[in-house]
Structure 1
């Protein structure tokens, strides 16, 4: 159920800062997801630093959240970076806006920091095995919510693995995120693909109904022309974790992990923490400064912390999934905070 929560104590001046706490509106995904963990941790960090208190609405559809930030109706949201790309062209879920208005709205988006913690994977129940993940013709596959970045990436994953397209070679099944686990455990699909953090509470919940097997992208497919196109597609970033670490993250659960080498390799959904371009420079600076100073809290506050791909160092653009097709810019205040911390920022990210 979608609910709103208020994170933050009384408005006061923190000793280290000579400014009053701001109140920020924000939307995030459902509990258990990577964006939810990052946003709630950020809210606690900003409150304890005396920077801001965040009013967070959970269970949001980020496609709508991105548009709300661009329109100035929302202060902050996590954004799969394919969404500003689609908005800037007025296509996909933003086709009703059109390219001219979409470009205008997208120009009002700025990024404070990045992450790439949701990696695309493929799975099935061991009781209903897939003999060959390169042969998925005729299968029913859960491949995402009804629209948005995850669905685009899910369809790309199945095409990369098997060459099949949704609605042609296989039947894609979509449900809103809160219904994902029940849709899969109910037995209505043969397999699923989705972007997940490590470890994924959703995969653990799915495995509670019976043993499952998870796969990365085989090396030859990832290195293929299509694989490289998908890896470099708007909103994607490289993802690689030693397979033993990946398996250890699911220890104690009936989850088998299959790779063709010693690492779990796939593509990640690149995310940015977005705000409006009109956010005060000093506020953006203080938010980002507090974020950078809370590195240990982000990395150790959850088992998935070390695998979130959070940006606590130099920002080269390519590693973060930008400076190619995705042309979002960082907020001036965020750039100042990173540079004061001794980090470099790629020129392509400067407004």
Structure 2
């Protein structure tokens, strides 16, 4: 698939409808085979079917940059892990160059259409690498994400929480853009990988051509620890569990867990817009999403039905609390028209 997808050329091309899109919007997202990538590509299809807009989707982007582009009005829509607007609002991490004042002002420009679970951060390695688990990472080389972004921030934090190790002193980190991810996993550049995953994960299954793999759950004591509780207090991070039997892997992938339950930090985010997007457009896009959850979004990949599209419970959306994001007023209207109840703190 092309890194830049001109989605929804005409609404007539989708299910034979005779309605035509009414405008052009731009959107940025991650790789097209990931949850945020599929989500925005699905939105483009839903928007075309509803005659709302043609959405030009640039996939394979670093979402740190995409979030800033929406805040600055350079792009209309972006996929966003909720940790990024939080960091922007404080002018820290990848937004340290903005400073607190400018970052805070930019973060106020962002609003949510709908949310979903982007991924679950976790550890995996080729069986041939001899990695015993989280306790075997000291001194190893770990591929932990792109050079700049939420995935890298989350991976470093997770490794420190579970092992106490810091990049540089406890292990060596390798950062490579998502477009080179599978190649980097396969070419021996790293001993192990701490990366976002879906279940089953497309990067894992693609890399199996080079050998069998083992996926390691967070140890239960670390998952239940006070330190991990502090991690899940960060916007866009929730405690995630799933039965190993439901993860969707075949015999070439072994999942290591103490009790047949996979545990890890779930990364939550959503598709976001600038607050200046007009009410009717935001409402129409959100309504098109709601109407297309099962017919378009869930149909795109085996992992999409479990990605929490359509959820409004703050335990799953991670809205409110420390999260500076709120739903766009047009999105609020669409959700409520569809019979959903949104928490007041998220409006």
The question of a shared fold, defined as TM-score above 0.5 by the shorter chain, is answered with yes
In 2, the alpha carbon distance for the partners of 1:211 and 1:225 equals 34
Deviations 1:281-302 (A, max 9, x none): 1111111111101121222331
Is the CA contact 2:20–2:48 (under 8 Å) kept in the aligned structure 1? no
Give the Å deviation of 1:135: 3.9
Is the CA contact 1:26–1:56 (under 8 Å) kept in the aligned structure 2? yes
In 1, the alpha carbon distance for the partners of 2:48 and 2:183 equals 36
Matched, 1:195 2:196: yes
- Equivalent in the alignment of 1:330: 327
Is the CA contact 1:8–1:44 (under 8 Å) kept in the aligned structure 2? yes
Give the Å deviation of 1:90: 1.1
Is the CA contact 1:89–1:98 (under 8 Å) kept in the aligned structure 2? yes
In 1, the alpha carbon distance for the partners of 2:20 and 2:76 equals 19
Q: Cα RMSD over matched residues? A: 2.2
Is the CA contact 2:11–2:49 (under 8 Å) kept in the aligned structure 1? no
Which of 225, 237, 261 is the aligned partner of 2:259?
261
Cα 1:125–1:338 change in 2 (3 A) is same
In 2, the alpha carbon distance for the partners of 1:33 and 1:196 equals 9
In 2, the alpha carbon distance for the partners of 1:196 and 1:135 equals 20
- Equivalent in the alignment of 1:288: 286
Is the CA contact 1:135–1:162 (under 8 Å) kept in the aligned structure 2? no
In 1, the alpha carbon distance for the partners of 2:45 and 2:17 equals 16
Give the Å deviation of 1:318: 3.6
Question: Normalization by structure 1: what TM-score?
Answer: 0.92
Matched, 1:103 2:109: no
Query: Number of matched residues?
Result: 344
Give the Å deviation of 1:132: 4.1
**Aligned partner of residue 330 in structure 2, secondary structure:** helix
Gaps of 5+ in 2: none
Is the CA contact 1:3–1:59 (under 8 Å) kept in the aligned structure 2? yes
Matched, 1:4 2:9: no
- Equivalent in the alignment of 1:316: 313
Question: Normalization by structure 2: what TM-score?
Answer: 0.93
Is the CA contact 1:111–1:274 (under 8 Å) kept in the aligned structure 2? yes
Is the CA contact 1:318–1:324 (under 8 Å) kept in the aligned structure 2? no
Give the Å deviation of 1:16: 10
- Equivalent in the alignment of 2:306: 307
- Equivalent in the alignment of 2:117: 116
In 2, the alpha carbon distance for the partners of 1:259 and 1:22 equals 50
